[in-house]
A and B are shown apart, each in its own frame.
Chain A
Amino acid sequence: MNPRILAATAARVLTQLRRDHRSIAMILVVPAGLLSVVYWLFENETLPPGAPRTFDRVGLIMLAIFPFVVMFLITSITMLRERTSGTLERLMTTPIHQADLLFGYGIAFSLMAALQSGVATGVAYWVFDLDIDGNAGLVVAVAVLNAVLGVALGLFCSAFARTEFQAVQFMPVVVVPQILLCGLFVARDRMNDVFQAVSDWMPLTYSVEALQEIAANSEPTGAMWQDFATMGAIVLGLLVLASFTLPRKSS
């Protein structure tokens, strides 16, 4: 990797994004808006004394799911465009290394993800009084890690789509099952064995688990760090796999 080329690539991706106001709104405003919907959905629930609000559980997990979904979509389509417009092939004739390109995308989108989770977490805490035991900084960290996860998965999946339409089709195949099985709707230990085993292989599972650890404990726990490590390993593995989808030479 070359720091100059890496920085130039990240800056280029951010410039492309900056000129696209609708995508900026999608990244920064939409998650906060959807979070508000979740809040008002559960606004009038009646709770036994001492029980936590549904918003504190569901809203918190939403904070991790939004960046994952949004970044997966944006990355897979941007990367597909790079592949189909000929710019990728052209880049391969220049001194850029595949890692410069992948990490350039990773850095640019992670910055956007940090902004996104900053906004969404801020809204959750200050507007809707999100009440959890753990540290808000850790919640943002999980959200950013999830965004990077979405980026890595999007980079990888873009190799298997020929058109933007096909790229969007990965949403129900790759993303929705993870949302269903991550423990948001039904706790994982109450799922049947098959679903539980499948969810063991899904990255989103570990971010939800980490968030639940953060919510329940005022200090970071060992289980939480383990979830962080698992997610980090999955991200690295996906980026390595993605680099194999960027051959310099076509045969």
Chain B
Amino acid sequence: MPHMPAHAAPTPPSIEADALSVRIRRTPVLDGLGFTVPEGRITGLLGPSGSGKSTLMRAIVGVQRIRRGSLTVLGRPAGASALRGRIGYMTQDPSVYRDLTVMDNVRYFGALHGRSAADSRAAVEAVGLSDVARRRAGSLSGGQFSRVSLACALVGEPELLVLDEPTVGLDPVLRADLWGQFHDLAAQGTTLLVSSHVMEEAGRCDSLLLLREGRLLAQLTPAQLRERGGSDDLEAAFLGIIRADLARQEAGLPAPTKEHAA
């Protein structure tokens, strides 16, 4: 992959949000988010179901209109047409063509990015579906099916990968496998934003965005999360932070200001 190695001199962040707010049909979904996503790292987006993770990801890939604030992606406003070839997006519900084979799906998304048949084979190989490449996507198991969707996001070799719950429904071996691949991609300079509600996966990220009810509770590293949440168990630590936030809300104190971590 052609971009800068991750350990080079400080580069501008891949994603920068400032006072970002999103409403869907008049309901506020994201409220005043400010954060940065560093280049060439894995940033985890964590929060309970309904906290706005998917909406934030949709705003980043440019399919959700933002209401207020700014959102800069790879140096341009989110949704700019020049960004479309540089971002890979995997939706939460696998969005691929069920009536096409695995390879036909990946080839089509590859063709949209100007990639060759060899690139498509490599992407199918990378998600471990070479054996079923000629099978109809709709006939695969749930875990295989979501990996077809992942391959379609990988085939364009994007600079920024936005993955909405990519490991849902996968067995532990496969999950570890995929996280290994995410780290390889990051080592090659790809920026990854990965959402999850499994806190165990938070430990595999370089940086974490904790979201709750459309607000950003904190941006920190897993080590900082353990420290602030007062527990070595990330799940418990996150709960600790949520409880502190609830207590603050009940006391009528303002939400915490944004914190930046590496």
B111 touches A93 (CB 8 A): no
B95 touches A87 (CB 8 A): yes
A93 touches B64 (CB 8 A): no
Number of chain B residues whose Cβ lies closer than 8 Å to a Cβ of chain A: 31
Q: In the complex, what distance in Å separates the CA atom of A91 from the CA atom of B84?
A: 10
- B residues near A93, Cβ cutoff 8 Å: 61-63, 84, 87, 89
Q: In the complex, what distance in Å separates the CA atom of A90 from the CA atom of B88?
A: 9
B96 within 8 A of A: yes
Q: In the complex, what distance in Å separates the CA atom of A85 from the CA atom of B91?
A: 10
A86 touches B79 (CB 8 A): no
Among the stretches A4-12, A184-192, A210-218, the one at the interface with B is A4-12
- A residues near B62, Cβ cutoff 8 Å: 92-93, 248-249
Q: Mark B66-108, 1 if CB is under 8 A from A, else 0.
A: 0000000000000100001101010101111111100010001
A20 within 8 A of B: yes
Q: Chain B interface mostly helix, strand, loop or mixed? A: loop
A95 touches B84 (CB 8 A): yes
* Residue among A9, A95, A248 having the largest count of chain B Cβ atoms under 10 Å: A95
Q: Which among A16, A19, A87, A251 is the interface contact of B65 at CB below 8 angstroms?
A: A251
> What residue of chain A has the Cβ atom nearest to residue B85's Cβ?
A95
> What residue of chain A has the Cβ atom nearest to residue B156's Cβ?
A94
A4 touches B96 (CB 8 A): no
Chain A interface category by residue count: 20 to 34
B64 touches A250 (CB 8 A): yes
Q: Mark B140-184, 1 if CB is under 8 A from A, else 0.
A: 000000000000100010000000000000000000000000000
Q: In the complex, what distance in Å separates the CA atom of A85 from the CA atom of B85?
A: 22
A249 touches B156 (CB 8 A): no
B112 touches A96 (CB 8 A): yes
- A residues near B58, Cβ cutoff 8 Å: 89, 250
- A residues near B97, Cβ cutoff 8 Å: 12, 16, 85, 87
Q: Which 8 A-B pairs have the closest CB atoms?
A: A86-B95, A8-B111, A251-B65, A93-B61, A94-B112, A249-B65, A90-B95, A93-B89
Chain A residues engaging chain B, CB cutoff 8 angstroms:
4-5, 8-9, 12, 15-16, 19-20, 85-87, 89-96, 248-251
User: What would 18 A/B residue contacts be, using CB atoms closer than 8 Å?
Assistant: A4-B111, A4-B114, A8-B111, A12-B97, A12-B100, A19-B136, A20-B99, A86-B95, A90-B95, A91-B112, A92-B62, A93-B87, A94-B109, A94-B156, A95-B113, A248-B63, A249-B62, A250-B24
Known contacts A12-B100, A89-B91; 13 further A-B pairs (Cβ under 8 A): A8-B112, A9-B108, A12-B97, A16-B97, A16-B99, A87-B95, A90-B91, A93-B61, A93-B62, A93-B89, A94-B109, A95-B112, A250-B58
